[in-house]
Structure 1
């Protein structure tokens, strides 16, 4: 009654929504993506709103994800309004091209407190390909006495921007696939970035809660033929006590830190062989142009490497994860039904 439906959507939705949502939209290189039906439109996304007060499409994040059709073939942008969401969330493998976005990580929190098997304990599990998360806190509050994954990423082509990932043991199970983490804060004590993905961490803050015997990374590469490994570029390492840069979960574990600030939280030896001396000849643990009190390599284990410019070059580009072909821009238009609204409809750019 009164205004037509399109005007209701515009006034009641776009103006209110887009003022906040522009906060989380960055400018990234435009790419195209192909699906079974041809080239996907990277500029327009179906918008789904999650609001715990009931003023959105769903009150729970999982309900919003469940509403995405199986074998999805269009961009879906799930906007999570500020709040604390006490739920265990999974993005199934048959629901690709989903973005899960808050407005600020400090006020948009997904939290649970599970333990048990490492692959089952995650607060947020991502099995779908072409997933994006922005401006969220993802945490596991189980505590210090067991495996407690906050985020498990087991889908290919996943990217995380400005997220806070918090737990104590096995915080980020960077399981399988190619992944990109930009400006994320990752906190834990024991092997808190682990798994066998091929991942680039750029401008991330790694904070260790270890009092002296914990490791930041536990990469799980099992053979020299696997194109997996963790690269940390332009990152920052801090801690409440001291911690190792990494130890080998797999015999051919591969981890590289470059251009990274290392506080005194990094122990002088840097790396550990996890009690298996045979791994010293097979792991690939490297550092390049790092700085800060923890970056002094004079007391590093002799089987770690100081990488030359040529040696480190492959770890300083998104090519290591094939990112130039799949890292997608933020959508510039959103649609609800047949109504399409530009992201700058309220005059902001």
Structure 2
């Protein structure tokens, strides 16, 4: 993620500059007796409900305006208020999409910004889908079930914000950026509000005297298994069968023609309509020089190979040389929910001169990557949005090489720091969390951070840090991991020390817990990071797969090496 292209100006900052004024709509409770209304002392019950719901929001006037019509209904339930907040957000994102659709950029004269605007449309379209799914989730569930799914709903709403933010980060020229940005002000404000409302759902329920479910503690959810909570019995059986060589794939890809397809793209294009279950793609050993994008409509793909280093997907798209936007440099991108990859290598060969050059980009909820190698230099792994789980992987790179805005846990993996160009530095992570109560962030659990062979002799001359904050509320947790001696004693690097609008070290959250190795000593960690903290065991349980990725319980009988519990 380098300084310059992806730094961008955050959507929140832009909103503050615009200073849009939204009038407060007074909510008047209807009554047959006008005298009673005139003599009523204090706010009505409806107004109190709105005050409670809007209290944690950043844009209270917009919140009041949005929920005012619901308050006129004296029988309104918490669901009605939440659905109204989501519906209003959906309406505004649709308007943003319309504004973006009217922004025309010539592909011949300005290919970079043409593609950026097209990307923006795609991202907003996915945001619309997510909001529609969120509205249905709330409408289809009773309040007790909704309590159980509140974390999932918050994750979806956080992803909606990330998709809007990514839209703006893609666009370079001010004349295009400002038009789309102005059209997104209401949408980003209401998305921000919705995140905060869902994050404080328990307070909303209290305002309506709805009994609150007591969730079991994160510690009780811990175990020694290695799958996230969304992995049901069928997926566990599938992975076990694949490990034993007993999976029957839907299609086989082989360079030598021994399968149905010679390319991965052809196999993905053959995704069947009205699919129920998983679409299983087996990719035989070989080097596949392809640019792969899995569309958001192609859910539940399971792609596996003959092993990392044997089944290799490779590309060299990059920003530094080819002037391609970061999102579109990815060798392999997934935008669909329920994606699983196993025993493959995803590689970007652009090298350090390519600057931003993504090997793997994941933008689909409930995605899981097992036993894979993800290789590149700058911006290797882009955990773009939604919930993601990585296990037993090898991830290599230089600057910001694990970055994104999703909810990601990387567990039991090898993190390999490579040698950058002269006068460059290494930062393992760069998280892009923007909303304090958002669900997103990055957790590295039981990993090893080591230098590659080429870096080892000069590892003390080239600064290497655990990470730097890409956005204001960046959240990164490194726990139970082995940190090599290449990690600088200060541990973390500020995004900028010269421009105050990038002083994210004042607001970001960097946590460590129970790490080991010569780079794990926290005594000399940088005092610039005001919210840096060494966690207690109880605090650390919040960032386990069970708790951080909204697991109701760990699944039993895992068939890959298990994690170390707290």
> Does 1:287 pair with 2:540?
no
C-alpha distance 84-299 of structure 1, shift in aligned 2 (>3 A): same
Q: Which aligned pairs between 1:118-157 and structure 2 lie closer than 5 A?
A: 118-145=326-353, 146-157=355-366
In the TM superposition, residue 77 of structure 1 has moved relative to its aligned partner by: 1.2
SS of corresponding position for 2:329: coil
Matched residue, 1:186: 395
More strand by share: 1
Give per-residue Cα distances to partners, 1:119-140, cap 9 Å, x unaligned: 0100000001100000000001
Matched residue, 1:274: 495
Matched residue, 2:199: none
2:541–2:547: 8 Å Cα contact kept in structure 1? Answer: no
Unaligned segments of structure 2, at least 5 residues: 1-224, 242-246, 319-323, 560-566
Which structure is richer in relative contact order (CA contacts within 8 A, separation 6 or more)?
1
| Distance in 2 of aligned mates of 1:201 and 1:140 | 20
Q: 2:314 aligns with which of 98, 107, 111?
A: 111
C-alpha distance 53-113 of structure 1, shift in aligned 2 (>3 A): same
| Distance in 1 of aligned mates of 2:506 and 2:329 | 33
| Distance in 2 of aligned mates of 1:222 and 1:328 | 35
| Distance in 2 of aligned mates of 1:328 and 1:80 | 29
Matched residue, 2:296: 93
| Distance in 1 of aligned mates of 2:510 and 2:271 | 41
Give per-residue Cα distances to partners, 1:235-293, cap 9 Å, x unaligned: 00012224110100010000001100000111111001211564233111010000101
Matched residue, 2:267: 64
In the TM superposition, residue 103 of structure 1 has moved relative to its aligned partner by: 1.9
Q: 1:222 aligns with which of 413, 434, 454?
A: 434
Matched residue, 1:84: 287
In the TM superposition, residue 73 of structure 1 has moved relative to its aligned partner by: 2.7
Matched residue, 2:466: 245
SS of corresponding position for 1:106: coil
> Does 1:196 pair with 2:399?
no
| Distance in 1 of aligned mates of 2:248 and 2:279 | 5
C-alpha distance 265-70 of structure 1, shift in aligned 2 (>3 A): farther
| Distance in 1 of aligned mates of 2:375 and 2:495 | 24
Q: 1:311 aligns with which of 524, 536, 539?
A: 539
1:84–1:111: 8 Å Cα contact kept in structure 2? Answer: yes
Give per-residue Cα distances to partners, 1:122-172, cap 9 Å, x unaligned: 000000110000000000111112210000111111000010000111000
Runs of 4+, deviation exceeding 6 Å: 41-45, 325-331
> Does 1:260 pair with 2:461?
no
Give per-residue Cα distances to partners, 1:2-21, cap 9 Å, x unaligned: xxxxxxxxxxxxxxxxxxxx
| Distance in 1 of aligned mates of 2:268 and 2:288 | 14
| Distance in 2 of aligned mates of 1:174 and 1:294 | 25
C-alpha distance 308-252 of structure 1, shift in aligned 2 (>3 A): same
C-alpha distance 27-297 of structure 1, shift in aligned 2 (>3 A): closer
Unaligned segments of structure 1, at least 5 residues: 1-25, 34-40, 332-349
| Distance in 2 of aligned mates of 1:286 and 1:180 | 19
| Distance in 2 of aligned mates of 1:326 and 1:130 | 18
C-alpha distance 119-70 of structure 1, shift in aligned 2 (>3 A): farther
Matched residue, 1:31: 232
| Distance in 2 of aligned mates of 1:328 and 1:158 | 19
Q: Which has the larger radius of gyration?
A: 2
C-alpha distance 153-208 of structure 1, shift in aligned 2 (>3 A): same
> Does 1:233 pair with 2:458?
no
2:445–2:481: 8 Å Cα contact kept in structure 1? Answer: yes
Matched residue, 2:115: none
